Every structure is written in C-alpha cells, then in structure tokens.
Amino acid sequence: MPKILLVTNSEHGQANVFLAVGHGLQALDPTTEVRFASFAPIADAVASASAYSVQTNPGAAPWKFEQLDGVDFMNATNNKEDQNRIGDSIEKRPSFSSVKEILRKLSVLLLPWSGPEFVVVYKSLVRIYEETRPDLVVIDSLFAPALTAARHLGWNHLVFSPNTLKDFAAAHQPKAAVLWKFPMMGSAFEFPVPLKQIPLNIFYVFYQIYHSITDRTIKTAATHIKAETGARLITFTDLLLKPRPDDKVLVSNRPEIEFPLAVIPKHLFPCGPVIRPVPPVKDVDPELDVWLARGPTVFISLGTHRFMKEDEALEMAGAIKQLLDAGDAHKGDIVEGVSGKLQVLWKLKRHRPSEPKLYEVGPGSKVYEVLRPAIEADRLRIVDWVKPEPSAVLMAKTVVCSINHGGANSFHDALTSGVPQVVIPPWLDCYDFATRAEFLGIGRWGSKQAMPRCTTAELGPILVDVVLGPNAKAMRTKVQELAALCGQTPGVEVAAAQLLEAASGKKVDWSSSE
C-alpha cells in the first residue's frame, strides 16, 4: 500500500495537477494512500476530488487533507508592505518600463514568504512528514518551503509542475537561445523573438539575472531560514539553473505542444498535459447539459484571478455581439454534426475575492443592453459561476471555441478537449500561451493590440475568424490531432505511474488502466 504525500500551494493554477494526479494514483492502484498537504483555501477542492476518486475507483480510500500552518502563497504575496509587491505590476501593459518593473519583483513569485513566515510553513511540513512517513513526497515546483525541506532532510521526493518545458529548458538550449529565441516572461514577444526585438530580449534576460543575484529580500530570508532550520534555501531557480544529477521534475507538457527545443535536460520528464478527471456536465448540472446540446457553443472563462471592470466587459460584449451576428449570417452548420444556432456561455468575474460586485449585468445594465436580444433568446448566458469544472464544459461535443486567459490549465484543458481557443493574456507566462496557440495553429491571440485587456474592434473579428472564418476548419483539425496525440498517453496516467514507481521502486504498467 503506497503512501504518497502531495505538497502544493493552494492556488488552483498550481494545485490542479495535484488534484488530477491524486485521482490518477488511485486509478492505477486503488490501495494508494493519498495525503494532500496544502493551505485551507484548497480544502474543499481536495474533498471534492477525493470524493470523485473514491466514487470512480472501487476500493480507493478518501484522501487525508493535511492543513499547513502559516500564510498561503497568495496572501504572502499580497501582504507585502514594501515596493516589492508584484500584484500592481503584472497587470500593466507590457512596455520597457513595466517589464523591467516586473523583472525586479520576480523574487516575490520565487519566495513570497518572509523568513519568519517561511519557517512556520517549513516546520509544519516537517511535522506532517514525521506524522505520516510517506513513501514519496511530491512537491509543487513553486513551493519553496517543501523544496527546501526535502533537500535538507533527504526525503524521497519528486517535483511536479504545471509549467511548460520551455520554462525549465530554455536556459539549457545550445547557442544561448534563451537570449535571442525564447521570449522573456512578461515581455509579450512572439516566438521566435522577432529580429528587431532580440536586443531588448537579451537586455531583459540579463536585467533579471542581475536582480536575482542582488535581491536583498531573498538573501535576508535565506539567512533567517539557515539560522532557524539549518537548511539552505531552495527555490524554483535551483530547479531551473542548478539541478542536481538525481533531481527529477515531472512537467505537465510534451514536446509536440511546446515551442521547439533542441535539448530537453535529463532531469525533466514531460508527462503530457495532466488533466483532472471530473464528473461530466450532465451529472453536475443537467439543465446546463441540455442547454449546451442545443447548438455550437463558445465558452468564455478567464480564470480564477482575472476580473473584468465594466468598461472592458462592454468591449467583450461588443465582440460577442459581432460573433453572434456573424453566426446568424453563416450558411450551414458551423461544425459538422453540430446543428443549431451559435450560443455563448460567459463566466464573468466582476469583483476580486471578498469585494462586492462592481456592476450589474441584469436588465437595464450597460452590458445587458448591448446583448439584450441574445440574452432574452437564451443564446447568451452570463454567469458568476459554472457548477461543472471548466474542463467538463469543454468536453461537451458542442463547444467550438474556448476564450481563456492563457493559464497553463486553461490552455491544456482546451487543447486536450480538441477545442480551438482565443487567448486574452493578462500577465507573465499567459503571453507565452497566446503565442503557443498561434504557433501551433490551434487558435488566436485575441488582444495583441489592446493587451492586457481586450477591445471590440480587435477581438470581434478574431472570434469570427476562429469560429466561422476560412481558418476555422484548419484550427479545429489541428487541435483535434493534438488532442488525439495527447490522448494516446494521457498525462495523468503517465505522471501517476512515475510517482508509483518512485514510491515503490518497481515498474508500473499504466497502459492497461481504464
């Protein structure tokens, strides 16, 4: 009976692959004892994922949630009182000054905790490890306290990341390609970096290196951590630039859906997209399932942390109206085998957590009036929340386009569902995913001119192109080919097999799993 401790930050962008692999472990071996160590905000999602794993994997036991002490990643980031806060910087339009500002503050993403905050989390991890004595610890690549404890105390562990191969491998490419070929995170440059932007990309890389070397916040925290625990601080940077011979990092990505890489370092193991198994829409929201079946559907979901002010929601509304009008004028079925009128499901986040909604979208509101005919005909639904998981909605056979923010999970959910996408990236690595969609020929970047927001004038024609235009069929064909490729070796099964092998030291046959 293998016992595996999954240790992750509580933000869904990092935690979703852990929720997925917990299910995958019990699908391969129902006797696996899954322990999930994280902060309180993810507890409900862990309980839901555990319940579904138990329901679908006969003989599986519920997961045990081990709540960590201390401050979670997001609150540690937001609690910064000095000028090192990154939240106010990442949402700015990419420019020479704003990119420099972000690069100066990237240390907050590598280490949002102060030294004392870090030690609280570290000690709770050590306590949980001593109490559970797992066969293997699986660690989120951005969770520095766990990386530090595992290295210092010699735990049997692997690193698991929703990030891409490019993020880990760019610095290891020959001919210093990290300088001139791969866009610096947050720059919003295309791939390969256009010739005229190469000097600036080189500058950004060295600028970031300089600030990572001279950053006093990390040095101060590292000194405190060493004094209190005896451990040398380990962060994401160590995985990127200073991997050890025995390190192993599982990545939720594969070369065929990545920018071309000449070298994949030996410590990286590309599993393919790790998608969380979830209940189908019909089991969670039967009424929505019936509505989705009425006709070709565009699904708009811009992520947990992306909210829209009213002026941008009006721009999105105008683009939706353009798309629906073009759909009405379209001759024949939009997608072969999917009849009916084009419709849109729009998950619109109108406020930040713990804040009141900033505006209304009901009758008489500005957004409603732009889209009144479609709303009243029930061809457009604007909702605060969708009961099923987004990946379940995308798996509906009638969904013809995903409009998302370019998070790793959203990008891979759409790709593995065989759905073309329009990416509206708001920050950092999301720009890379918008570029990937165009590079792979599976979608469009919806906001190159207006980034990090969107406008009707730019987005409307792009939506029409992806759903109805002359390129639409080619995009659907390409993304369905890539989805089929990923489906041949599902990432969640490949990752789970690797973890079980690391826990037991025995080869695991995952190919026969259901």
Contacts by 455-459, CB closer than 8 A, 24 or more apart: 455/315, 455/319, 456/315, 456/316, 456/317, 456/318, 456/319, 456/322, 459/315, 459/316, 459/319, 459/422, 459/424
Percent residues over pLDDT 70 in the chain: 96
Percent residues over pLDDT 90 in the chain: 82
- Tell me the residue length of the chain: 514
Please tell me whether the overall predicted TM-score, pTM, comes out greater than 0.75 for this model.
Answer: yes
- Nearest Cα to 68, choosing from 94, 39, 29, 44? 39
- Nearest Cα to 477, choosing from 336, 272, 324? 336
- Nearest Cα to 89, choosing from 113, 72, 71, 109? 109
Output phi, psi for 478, to 5 deg. -65, -45
Is the pLDDT at 45 greater than 70? The verdict is: yes
- Nearest Cα to 393, choosing from 402, 380, 384, 382? 402
Cβ neighbours for 378, distance < 8 A, ≥ 6 positions apart? 291, 343
The 10s digit of each residue's pLDDT in 351-363 is 776 677 788 999 9
Contact call for residues 397 and 277 (beta carbons, < 8 A): no
Residue-averaged pLDDT of the chain: 93
Starting at the edge strand found earlier in the chain, the sheet holding 136-140 runs 64-67, 33-38, 3-7, 136-140, 157-161, 249-251, 268-270
Contact call for residues 418 and 380 (beta carbons, < 8 A): no
The 10s digit of each residue's pLDDT in 421-474 is 999 999 888 999 999 999 999 999 999 999 999 999 999 999 999 999 999 999
In angstroms, rounded to a whole number, what is the distance separating the alpha carbons of residues 293 and 71? 43
The 10s digit of each residue's pLDDT in 101-156 is 989 888 888 899 999 999 999 999 999 999 999 999 999 999 999 999 999 999 99
| C-alpha torsion sign, points 309, 310, 313, 318 | negative
User: Where are the chain's structural domains?
Assistant: 3-80+113-171+212-275+490-504, 281-487
- Nearest Cα to 182, choosing from 158, 156, 208? 208
Write out the H or E segment, with its range, that includes residue 300: strand 297-301
Q: Inter-axis angle of helices 12-28 and 491-504, to 10 degrees?
A: 70
Alpha carbon separation from 188 to 11, 197, 209, 271, 312 (Å, rounded) = 24, 11, 19, 27, 20
Q: Per-residue DSSP letters for 158-208?
A: EEEESS-HHHHHGGG-GGGHHHHTSPPTTS---SSPPGGGHHHHHHHHHHH
Pick left, alpha or beta for residue 183 (phi over 0 → left; psi -120 to 50 → alpha; otherwise beta). Answer: beta
Write out the H or E segment, with its range, that includes residue 251: strand 249-251
User: Using 50, 70 and 90 to split pLDDT, how confident is the model at 86?
Assistant: low
The 10s digit of each residue's pLDDT in 152-200 is 999 999 999 998 999 999 999 999 999 999 999 999 999 999 999 999 9
The 10s digit of each residue's pLDDT in 378-425 is 999 999 999 999 999 999 999 999 999 999 999 999 999 999 999 999
Q: What pLDDT score does 276 carry?
A: 93
Q: What pLDDT score does 489 carry?
A: 95
Q: Tell me, what DSSP letter sits at residue 444?
A: E
Q: What pLDDT score does 408 carry?
A: 93
Q: What pLDDT score does 306 carry?
A: 78
Q: What pLDDT score does 366 carry?
A: 95
User: Using 50, 70 and 90 to split pLDDT, how confident is the model at 246?
Assistant: confident
Mention the CATH class of domain 281-487.
alpha beta
Q: What pLDDT score does 336 carry?
A: 81
In angstroms, rounded to a whole number, what is the distance separating the alpha carbons of residues 9 and 16? 10
| C-alpha torsion sign, points 416, 256, 241, 267 | positive
Q: What pLDDT score does 356 carry?
A: 77
CATH number for the region 3-80+113-171+212-275+490-504 comes to 3.40.50.2000
Radius of gyration of the chain (CA): 23
Is the pLDDT at 84 greater than 60? The verdict is: no
In angstroms, rounded to a whole number, what is the distance separating the alpha carbons of residues 482 and 419? 10
- Nearest Cα to 36, choosing from 51, 26, 46? 46
Which of 161-165, 289-293, 303-307: highest mean pLDDT? Answer: 289-293
Collapse the DSSP code of 54 into the 3-class scheme (helix H, G, I; strand E, B; otherwise coil) and give the result: helix
Angle at the Cα of 440 from the Cα atoms of 438 and 444, rounded to 5 degrees = 25
Q: What pLDDT score does 88 carry?
A: 65
Count CA atoms within 13 Å of residue 73 on its CB side.
23
Contact call for residues 400 and 422 (beta carbons, < 8 A): no
